[in-house]
Amino acid sequence: MWGGRRLLPLLTVCALCALCAGTEPGAVTCGSVLKLLNTRHSVRLHSHEVKYGSGSGQQSVTGVEASDDANSYWRIRGKTDGSCQRGTPVRCGQAIRLTHVNTGKNLHTHHFPSPLSNNQEVSAFGDDGEGDDLDIWIVQCSGTHWEREDAVRFKHVGTEVFLSITGEQYGHPIRGQREVHGMPTANHHNYWKAMEGVFIKPSMDLAKHDEL
């Protein structure tokens, strides 16, 4: 169980991110905490304790322009516990879960229409990092591993849509935030790049970083 390790003290995150801001080359690794930028629309994948007013009614997932919002951190986890060992590079084609750090819910999609574009709704689902089979995404990239400097796609295993943004903006209470949804086709709206974060390396003393 992911349990009580899910909440990162904000000052700890900021201090670590100042050292590991994702500017050095290398692979994205299991256990890392990072922000994901949609390269077409220049917004970061985001969630918060605001539920959809339609569709599933689950916690909403959006895109935000701000680079310093603490609600944009996601943890890279395996399809099952133990299938993505901390510090191991994520392979192209690997199945992962993306768990929202501040709420412990997993990036999720299902057959509900998204509220603005009528594509497929993307939500945050589960408790303490435990959800269901609709939390699983495949990392699509061109090499052997997911490299930090590369743009990648996330294809949903259960419904075969791609994590996407096409620019629709919400009004109150999340004015200006962009709709995130699933699209059935691969295109320029569904490329994502690793940005700010704490990237776990195999050489790191994991005992000292267990709070991550």
The phi and psi torsions of 37 (rounded to 5 degrees) equal -100, 125
> What is the rounded distance in angstroms from the CA atom of residue 118 to the CA atom of residue 107?
18
Instruction: Encode pLDDT of 192-209 as tens digits.
Output: 999 999 999 865 544 444
**Pick from 48, 80, 70: which is nearest to 61 by CA?**
48
106: Cα separation from own chain's centroid: 8
94: helix, coil or strand?
A: coil
Could you tell me the CA-to-CA distances from 32 to 27, 78, 110, 111, 168 in Å, in that order?
10, 11, 26, 29, 29
Q: What is the DSSP letter of 86?
A: T
What's residue 6's pLDDT? 46
Instruction: Encode pLDDT of 46-58 as tens digits.
Output: 999 999 999 999 9
Question: Could you tell me the end-to-end alpha-carbon distance of the chain, in angstroms, rounded to an integer?
Answer: 13
User: Which pair of structure tokens corresponds to residue 130?
Assistant: 């435990």
Share of the chain above pLDDT 70, in %: 83
Which is it for the CA torsion 9, 195, 139, 82, positive or negative? negative
**55 residue type, one letter:** G
Instruction: Encode pLDDT of 108-128 as tens digits.
Output: 999 999 999 999 999 999 999
Statement: residue 164 has pLDDT above 60: yes
